[in-house]
């Protein structure tokens, strides 16, 4: 989930075509969770599965959305989470408990014949990302010829580092923690752009990518990056629960006034892991400078995985393969991508 800053900062809308030629580091876990949440039966809340009962919603989303990126000229590099910091354990346990409770609500809603909206809402909250799903996603990207990076710890931190070092043009995530980790540029809604159905009215709205730049965000909020982190700690991040009663506006105001973590902590009742340790994680996270290796499209393996193993439509897969083959650099072409 990350720190909640929506509503206090605004981005610049951008068409996907305007991102052509850009390398973008994508938070893989964040993206896979989105696909697992969204790609479900609207009546029962069930995710896509093959005949063996294996969930394939994440593979479907990754396949078609990544192909769309490539068609638009975007060069995606997916970044997978590594070992989380020890103090994230409490948050992880809490989330597992929330997912378990949501799964029970989902099953109860199905059995009671509750409205489809309630069923789907509970189903989305019960999403789990397993090791098997993660391995499958990496294998799919390999066969598609798409680069990915294994982060030593937090994927968002690695994305931010790659952006700050110039390896990529921007980070992509729905979480605002990217800014706390120091990403100079963030693209939101990249993986969910398109039509979005509003829960209560059933109406559809357009969801377009937005670009946010850290320097502009800090200027608008009148904060340094360190003070933005302090505000994030007050609101709550993936690593701490936040301080009761502090939403974005109140947290930002306190960070502006007190300026340092020490001064802020003197004004609030802190709960959770040591605040300085969490702040140090945002300022100096474990990252790697290892460059992602070049990948080659493997059409036959891609067909075998998606059609033979997971029973995707052979006709639709053939269209995807032809699209990907058509995007491969031609012999003698420079085939360069800009950052």
pLDDT single digits (tens) 107-133? 787 778 778 888 777 777 778 899 999
Q: What is the pTM of this model?
A: 0.89
Looking at the DSSP bridge assignments, the partners of residue 197 are 204
Distance of CA 57 to the CA centre of its chain: 15
In DSSP notation, 56-118 reads -HHHHHHHHHHHHHHHTT-EEEEEE--PPPGGGHHHHHHHHHHHHHHHHHHHHHHHHT--HHH
Amino acid 88: pLDDT: 76
3-state secondary structure of 170: strand
Query: Which tokens belong to 159?
Result: 């994305």
CB < 8 Å & 24+ apart, contacts of 289-294 = 289/165, 290/149, 291/167, 292/77, 292/147, 292/148, 292/149, 293/147, 294/147
Name the residue with tokens 């990302």. Answer: 129
Asked, colleague to colleague, whether 1-221 and 222-284 share their fold, the answer is no
Amino acid 2: pLDDT: 54
Q: What CATH superfamily is the domain 1-221? A: 5'-nuclease (3.40.50.1010)
Q: Which helix (H) or strand (E) holds 158?
A: helix 155-164
CA distances from 26 to 31, 66, 162, 189, 244 (A): 8, 11, 10, 11, 32
Distance of CA 50 to the CA centre of its chain: 25
In DSSP notation, 220-279 reads HHT--HHHHHHHHHHH--SS----TT--HHHHHHHHHHH-SHHHHHTTS---SS-HHHHH
Within the chain, which residues score under 70 in pLDDT? Answer: 1-7, 89-97, 103, 193-205, 329-339
Amino acid 200: pLDDT: 57
- State residue 105 phi and psi, 5-degree precision: -65, -40
- CATH class of residue range 222-284: mainly alpha
Contact between 54 and 46 under an 8 Å Cβ cutoff? The reply is: no
Contact between 155 and 80 under an 8 Å Cβ cutoff? The reply is: yes
Looking at the DSSP bridge assignments, the partners of residue 80 are 150
Radius of gyration of the chain (CA): 21
Per-residue model confidence as pLDDT tens digits over 179-211: 999 999 999 999 775 555 555 555 556 778 999
Amino acid 335: pLDDT: 46
* Domain residue ranges of the chain, discontinuous segments joined by +: 1-221, 222-284
Q: Which helix (H) or strand (E) holds 317?
A: helix 314-327
Contact between 123 and 40 under an 8 Å Cβ cutoff? The reply is: yes
Contact between 34 and 268 under an 8 Å Cβ cutoff? The reply is: no
> What is the spatial distance between Cα 81 and Cα 29, in angstroms, rounded to a whole number?
7
DSSP structural state of residue 212: E
Contact between 60 and 113 under an 8 Å Cβ cutoff? The reply is: no
Amino acid 11: pLDDT: 86
Amino acid 3: pLDDT: 57
Q: Do β-strands 204-207 and 194-197 pair in parallel, antiparallel, or remain unpaired?
A: antiparallel
- The CB density around residue 247, as the number of other CB atoms within 10 Å, is 14
């Amino acid at each position: 989930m990350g720190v909640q800053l929506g509503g206090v900062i605004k981005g610049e809308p951008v068409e996907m075509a305007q991102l052509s030629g850009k390398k973008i580091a994508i938070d893989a876990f964040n993206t896979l969770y989105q696909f697992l949440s969204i790609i479900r039966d609207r009546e029962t809340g069930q995710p896509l599965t093959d005949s063996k009962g294996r969930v394939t919603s994440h593979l479907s989303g990754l396949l078609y959305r990544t192909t769309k990126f490539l068609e638009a000229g975007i060069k995606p590099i997916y970044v997978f989470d590594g070992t989380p910091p020890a103090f994230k354990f409490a948050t992880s346990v809490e989330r597992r408990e929330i997912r378990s409770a949501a799964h029970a609500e989902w099953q109860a809603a199905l059995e009671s014949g509750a409205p489809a909206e309630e069923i789907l809402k509970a189903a989305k909250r019960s999403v789990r990302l397993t090791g098997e799903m993660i391995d499958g996603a990496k294998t799919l990207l390999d066969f598609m010829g798409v680069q990915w990076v294994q982060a030593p710890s937090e994927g968002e931190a690695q994305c931010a580092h790659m952006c700050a070092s110039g390896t990529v043009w921007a980070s992509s995530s729905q979480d605002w923690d990217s800014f706390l980790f120091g990403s100079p540029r963030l693209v939101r809604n990249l993986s969910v752009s398109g039509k979005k159905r509003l829960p209560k009215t059933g109406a559809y709205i357009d969801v377009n990518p937005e670009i946010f730049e850290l320097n502009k965000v800090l200027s608008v909020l009148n904060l340094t990056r360190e003070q933005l982190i302090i505000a994030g700690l007050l609101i709550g991040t993936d690593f701490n629960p936040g301080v009761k009663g502090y939403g974005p506006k109140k947290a930002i105001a306190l960070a502006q006034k007190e300026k340092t973590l020490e001064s802020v902590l003197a004004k609030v009742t802190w709960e959770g892991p040591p605040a300085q340790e969490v702040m140090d994680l945002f300022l100096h996270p474990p990252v790697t400078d290892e460059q992602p290796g070049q990948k080659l499209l493997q059409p036959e393996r891609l067909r075998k995985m998606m059609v033979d193993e997971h029973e995707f439509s052979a006709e639709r897969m053939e269209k995807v393969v032809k699209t990907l083959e058509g995007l491969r650099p031609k012999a003698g072409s420079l085939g360069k991508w800009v950052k």
